Structure 1
Amino acid sequence: MKKLGTLFILALAALTVYSCKQEKKAANFLPGSTGSENSLMVVMDNSLWQGEVGEKVREVFAAPAVSLMPEQAILTLTQIPPEVFKGATTHARSVLFVQKDTLTIAHVKRDVYADPQNIAVVKGKTNAEIVAGIEKIGKEAITAFKAVEIAAVQERFNRSLSKETAIEDELGVKLTLPSVYRVGKQEKNFVWVDRQIPKGNMNIIAYSIPEKTFTSDSTFVQDIVKLRDSIGKKYVPGPDAGTYMMTEKAFAPYVFPAEIGGRKAAEVRGIWEINGYPMAGPFLMYIINDKPNKRKLVLEGFTFAPNTQKRDYMFELEAVLKTLEFSNETEMASK
């Protein structure tokens, strides 16, 4: 009897292992997701799209992105009815599925039809319930969509990587840079890399500041502006003598909590301008608490592209900055 019991346990264990392998194998067969950067496929009946439900979807998921000029939505929406959502259409990277149903649910599902993929599902018995579900899930869904879009952009970087080491040499950190970026300026504790784009350029600057910088929460935004303006005056000249990059005077930057490279940080979004010259554009800045190295690390991306939509340019810069890795803490801490 003991022998039979042992055989039964071994058979059950083997079956469990086989089932797990089969599940993993099936998961690995998911096709790769598709879609343009920052695009969202909205699956819902045309009647819902044309009414109050569609208005709420556009209000939440196509809201203006922060600090872009000209104004541009955070996501580009493409609506299709449910009967069209089949075959290759289901491989879209970011999907919002909205439907009238006997159930009332609002949640985000991962890798259902493709990998990577996020599908936000909102169902309700009435329009009011669906609208409430969209409001409830909106922030979580946008965060999920943005994460999968960032990952897709970062994956694209791997096709052709830069061999530049200036940022690591000066600051002891690594960024995954596409090969199109070039070092434009390298000085002690300051690096500027950029790439050319139609009608302009995309830029990243990196430097460190003392750990005790920004001691007052009440003046945090003003102190950020002072820092940016001083760095711009010292390192980022404008086209004419005496001109330099500064923070747009008419618009205070937006500040959000963030985490970059495993460190707590402040995310700052705003508009830059050239002091004394008609040039301006959006910037994204991360101020990172690098306690192991007893400093604050500052990474900033900014774009110059007149009369051009800049959302995807800024999104690429964000994706680059979010590849941050601290490569040599001991050496930097001892400097």
Structure 2
Amino acid sequence: MATKCLKYTISKKVKSLFLPYFLVVVSIVFYSCKEKTEDKPQTSCQINSLAIAVNDQLWSGEIGDSLRKKFAASVDGLPQEEPLFTIQQFPVKLFDTHKNSNTNLILIKKEEKSSYRLVHNKYMNPQNLVVISGKSISEIVNFIEQNGDSLVNIFRETEINRNQDLIRKQLLSDEKIQRKFKVLLDVPETFQYVMEKPNFIWLKKEILSGNTSILIYKVPFKTLLKDDNIVSNIISMRDNIGSKYISGKNKNTSMITEESYAPYFDITVIDKKRAYETKGTWELKGDYMSGSFINYAIMNREKKEFLVIEGFCYAPSTSKRDLMMELEAIIKSVKFL
């Protein structure tokens, strides 16, 4: 709850007499407000989870189908289908037992009052609470269809921020990255530098089922803007970097963009700069290794070059959604100096 600020005028005599007491009162007021803000439980639930309070009859019908279509759709750029969110559904009567343990929470009720509300940080910090009510099934479905895409973006942004908060607790020194590329990048200390070249850095983290990696390099404008086919130019750029630096144990192997899957492409903004986002799958030419990648080419107009930061994973026996989100969170932490 915000504290109202009051304008006041104090004479010099009264000011000297009451100022110490006034300061004490002000301190107590601000401390109380701080306590109220901080006494909400901090989010600790699973990354990319979504809790939905809706009665079983509605969940098994058209409303449930609409929710699954929006929030359990496949993540772009992964070799196997994985849902955007891991969904837990429970009846409305159990809402109070779940409201303090879920970051992304949807409450759906069929009642006479029709409404749609998005509330932030009501029971937890952070938290997105969506409350949908309607007189009919079609009315509720309409709310879901109209707002589902924007909610996916809001939920994902919250999860990116949660990842970044976890990453900042134990950071790897980024002095080498600062010196070479003039940027700050939050990389967890679980990563290690495995290759450094004049215009290239490779960091890797070993995991139980494989590894994840971050690549950083720069290319001139003409590399990606030489014609209108930016996606093709990004693929050529990736394959060129892979042939130079990323190889397997066998000779004549190199990392390339897998040709059988068309990559996902979008234009976004990172640190107030235009960026090309490409997601897809990679493979090791001449070998059997493959995995997912997410590539951001960030435009630096002052230097007429792109800073390219890519994350990729090799995890053949496990899901890749959460691994790739951590890499995305690392990349989106970049700050140009």
Match of 2:60 among 50, 55, 64: 50
- How far did residue 293 of structure 1 move? 3.0
Partner of 2:200: 190
Match of 1:274 among 284, 296, 315: 284
Partner of 1:172: 182
Do structure 1's residue 228 and structure 2's residue 235 form an aligned pair? no
Partner of 1:60: 70
Partner SS state of residue 172, structure 2: coil
Do structure 1's residue 140 and structure 2's residue 159 form an aligned pair? no
Answer with 88-97 or 295-304: which moved more.
88-97
Give the letter aligned to residue 49 of structure 2: S
On the 8 A contact 2:174/2:184 being kept in 1, the answer is no
Structure 1: how far apart are the matches of 2:98 and 2:63?
A: 26
Pair 9,204 (structure 1): closer, same or farther in 2 beyond 3 Å: closer
Structure 2: how far apart are the matches of 1:109 and 1:239?
A: 52
What CA deviation, in whole Å up to 9, does each residue of 1:9-55 have, x standing for no partner?
859xx9xx99x956665333322223100000111111111111111
Partner of 2:111: 101
Answer with 37-46 or 206-215: which moved more.
206-215
Structure 1: how far apart are the matches of 2:325 and 2:127?
A: 18
Match of 2:302 among 292, 295, 308: 292
What CA deviation, in whole Å up to 9, does each residue of 1:277-316 have, x standing for no partner?
1111110000101123331110000000113211111011
Structure 1: how far apart are the matches of 2:117 and 2:65?
A: 20
Do structure 1's residue 318 and structure 2's residue 328 form an aligned pair? yes
Partner SS state of residue 68, structure 2: helix
On the 8 A contact 1:206/1:300 being kept in 2, the answer is yes
- How far did residue 217 of structure 1 move? 6.4
Partner SS state of residue 90, structure 1: coil
Match of 2:213 among 188, 200, 203: 203
Partner of 1:39: 49
Structure 1: how far apart are the matches of 2:132 and 2:205?
A: 41
On the 8 A contact 2:174/2:185 being kept in 1, the answer is no
Structure 2: how far apart are the matches of 1:189 and 1:216?
A: 21
Partner of 2:136: 126
Partner SS state of residue 277, structure 1: coil
Structure 1: how far apart are the matches of 2:99 and 2:72?
A: 21
Give the letter aligned to residue 256 of structure 2: M
Pair 107,216 (structure 1): closer, same or farther in 2 beyond 3 Å: farther
Structure 2: how far apart are the matches of 1:308 and 1:130?
A: 36
Do structure 1's residue 247 and structure 2's residue 257 form an aligned pair? yes
Structure 2: how far apart are the matches of 1:31 and 1:226?
A: 47
Structure 2: how far apart are the matches of 1:176 and 1:215?
A: 29
- How far did residue 95 of structure 1 move? 0.8
Structure 2: how far apart are the matches of 1:251 and 1:33?
A: 36
Pair 68,101 (structure 1): closer, same or farther in 2 beyond 3 Å: same
Structure 2: how far apart are the matches of 1:9 and 1:78?
A: 49
What CA deviation, in whole Å up to 9, does each residue of 1:104-147 have, x standing for no partner?
33342211111111112222211111111111111111111111
Give the letter aligned to residue 225 of structure 2: T
Structure 2: how far apart are the matches of 1:59 and 1:148?
A: 20
Structure 1: how far apart are the matches of 2:117 and 2:176?
A: 44
Structure 2: how far apart are the matches of 1:140 and 1:25?
A: 32
Give the alignment's Cα RMSD to 1 decimal: 2.2
Structure 2: how far apart are the matches of 1:9 and 1:152?
A: 38
* Residues paired across the two proteins, number: 316
- How far did residue 149 of structure 1 move? 1.1
Partner of 1:115: 125
- How far did residue 256 of structure 1 move? 1.0
Give the letter aligned to residue 222 of structure 2: K
Partner SS state of residue 278, structure 1: coil
| Unmatched tracts of structure 2, length 5 or more | 1-5, 10-21
Give the letter aligned to residue 220 of structure 2: P
Partner of 1:215: 225
Partner SS state of residue 269, structure 2: strand
Partner of 2:3: none
Partner of 2:248: 238
